[in-house]
Structure 1
Amino acid sequence: MDLPGYNKTSSFSHMEFILFGFPGVTKHRPLLALPFSLIYAVILSGNSVVMLVIVLEKSLHTPMYTLIFSLLATNVVYTTAITPKMLLGLFGLNQITLAGCLVQIFTVYSSIMAESTIVLLMAIDRYLAVHQPLHYQEIVVKNLIAHSAVNGVLRYSFVVLPLVITGARLRYCRSNIIPHFHCESMMLFSLGCDESRAQISGLVVRTLMMFCDIPIILISYLKVLHTVLRIAAGMARYKALHTCGTHLVVVILIYSSGFLISVLYLPGNSTSYDLQNICSTIYFLFSAMVNPFIYGLRMEGIKCNLRKRWGKKKDLPVKKIRRRD
């Protein structure tokens, strides 16, 4: 698909780019602002409510709910790094500098890697809760949290930063139009004079983000399920399967959509830009929108506290009347 402004003979490096998301619906792009605004509002409100309940309720100050809070916080971070700029772009305010583009890439990729780390820790947390119940608190609090912080720093240093440095050093002489609603790294690198090496770097980073944690996550949940089915019964088995099932829903949402995105952005792929944009929207916005509902409606601790707090507010007028009588 040919885009306006494409110039293969440019002898200089572009320092400003145009985010041209959903190029197939150029005339009706402003109409997309309403549904995306509503989705972003749901993401902010839904995640914030569940996070607030976890903060206010002391009984939820446990490792598992701390990880849930962290997961929802990453949802807010990367959607905020993408959505406001996307909404402005739908109305024609779609210019972004190279520095702004690289900051967006760093924020989004760091958040995604943090999300992957949190999902991994949730799997390990459930494994330890089942296999080491007597020493669970000591192991998780003293070791798991510290190791996860070191893990996150190392990942950002060795994976995300080299990608940003590659983008900063690359010379962009092909075009300044990115046919996407955010600075997608593979699309940005495809505009460089030496696109092949940069795209390989982007592909390596995407592969590491998507697949380095999957084996440990699957092994952890398989061991948990095996132990639960072998030793637990009745309500204990139901609660364990309920919790693991909730976590697995999130894992499937994150990694299945991420795998699809990785395939679509392979070098030489002829998939239309609109399809790539739609799949990216599902990947970045859909899971962030449904996560608070998954945890709010399926996790008993959060669901009970939501009912309790909402019930108290509804009962206040009745209590006042009874006191007067």
Structure 2
Amino acid sequence: MNIASSNIMVISHTFFYLLGIPGLEDQHIWISIPFFTSYIIALLGNSLLIFIVVTDHNLHEPMYIFLCMLAGIDISLSTITVPKTLAIFWLNSGGISLYGCIAQLFFIHSTYVAESGVLLLMSFDRYIAICYPLRYTMILTPSVIIKTAMYVCLRSIVSIFPIIFLVKRLPFCKNNLLPHTYCEYIGLAKYACASIRVNIWYGIFVLLTTVVIDIILIVLSYCMILHAIFHIPSQEARHKALNTCGSHICVIFLFYIPGIFTFLVQRFGKQIPVHVHILMANVCMLVLPVMNPIIYGIKTKQIKNRVSHLLFQRQR
């Protein structure tokens, strides 16, 4: 008996099956419709946003360059998760290797950290534009933009890269059926038959040193922005300054609020059904890629005019 037990313990799964949304298997086809629609909207909207910024020389400014980066990250984030989700819903193709699972969770978390970093850069851009308008072009030079963009990319890769080894070292001798539509760090680690304390603490460390710090710096920047705006004597100028921040503030709330809510539900909402957790996690992956181009397309005059011009030319 002891020998059999020891033999079982040394078996480590190298292949997993993503189950999609347990409890709603008979609804997978219907659930796939909003997923597919949202994915197409995200691809088309963000691709159009990138095309407009790249082709219009009048939009080659720091704010639009950062917006272009955000759109590229949104395309990546949705593409990492949605095609596999649709394969599960349509073809019942949930099989994924351990290395494929690790690769997916690495890109999911690194793009999430990168998106948080870009939102911080955009808040810094608004701070300079409103608080130091005369020095805007002197501070945000092309060299500074390139360096800050490289920092965001390197930070996301360096902070998440150790996760590869933290997961790879774990023996997965428990169930290899994952109740999710994509591979998630702690969600996968929970199926290990070894201590995952290091994994949990490293996950908290990354969260505190990246996303939490970004939130704090964004809040501080907007405190200074609001202080500067309310000291502008002209009401029209105050309204214009607030309007330039409106799109960014909407995107910030759409990015952080669902993520924080999902995190709290996962940690403390033990009574909430599993399918609700999974649906919320997927909504967090799709809401910003879908809404980002819509928000900036509606609230940013230059982009709205450019889109109207393209549509008008096509009609002619």
TM-score normalized with structure 1 length: 0.88
1:135-284 to 2 correspondence within 5 Å?
A: 135-141=135-141, 142-157=143-158, 159-197=159-197, 198-231=199-232, 233-266=234-267, 269-284=270-285
Pairing 1:129–2:129 present: yes
What SS class does the counterpart of residue 49 from structure 1 fall into? helix
For residues 61 and 187 of structure 1, the distance between their equivalents in structure 2, rounded to whole angstroms, comes to 41
CA change 1:240–1:80 in 2 (3 A) is: same
Q: What CA distance in whole angstroms lies between the structure 2 residues aligned with 1:181 and 1:188?
A: 12
Tell me, in whole angstroms, the C-alpha distance in 1 between the residues paired with 2:209 and 2:187. 18
Describe the shift of the 1:29–1:312 C-alpha distance in structure 2 as closer, same or farther (beyond 3 A): closer
Shift of the 296–66 alpha-carbon distance from structure 1 to 2, 3 Å rule, reads same
Aligned to 1:5: none
Q: Structure 1 residue 18: deviation in Å? A: 0.7
Moved more, 290-299 or 259-268: 259-268
Decide which moves more: 159-168 or 69-78. 159-168
Question: Over aligned residue pairs, what C-alpha RMSD do you find?
Answer: 1.9
CA spacing shift, 1:298–1:195, aligned 2, 3 Å: farther
TM-score (norm 2): 0.91
Structure-2 residue corresponding to 1:4: none
Q: What is residue 118 of structure 2 aligned with on the other side?
A: 118
**What amino acid is the match of 2:226?**
L
Deviation at 1:106, TM superposition (A): 1.3
Q: Is the 2:111–2:156 contact (alpha carbons within 8 Å) kept by the matching residues of 1?
A: no
Counterpart for residue 3 of structure 1: none
In 2, are the aligned partners of 1:123 and 1:221 still within 8 Å (CA)? Answer: yes
Identity level (%): 30
C-alpha deviations, 1:211-256, integer Å up to 9, x for none? 1211110111121122112125244322211121211111111111
Taking a change above 3 Å as real, the CA distance of residues 265 and 118 of structure 1, as seen in their structure-2 partners, is same
- 3-state DSSP of counterpart to 2:283: helix
Query: Which segment drifts farther, 93-102 or 186-195?
Result: 186-195
CA distance in 1, matches of 2:249, 2:195: 37
Unaligned 5+ runs, structure 1 = 1-8, 317-325
Deviation of 1:268 after TM superposition, in Å, equals 9.1
Q: Name the SS of the counterpart of 1:191 in structure 2.
A: coil
Deviation at 1:279, TM superposition (A): 0.9
Change (3 A) 1:234 1:308: farther
Matched length: 306
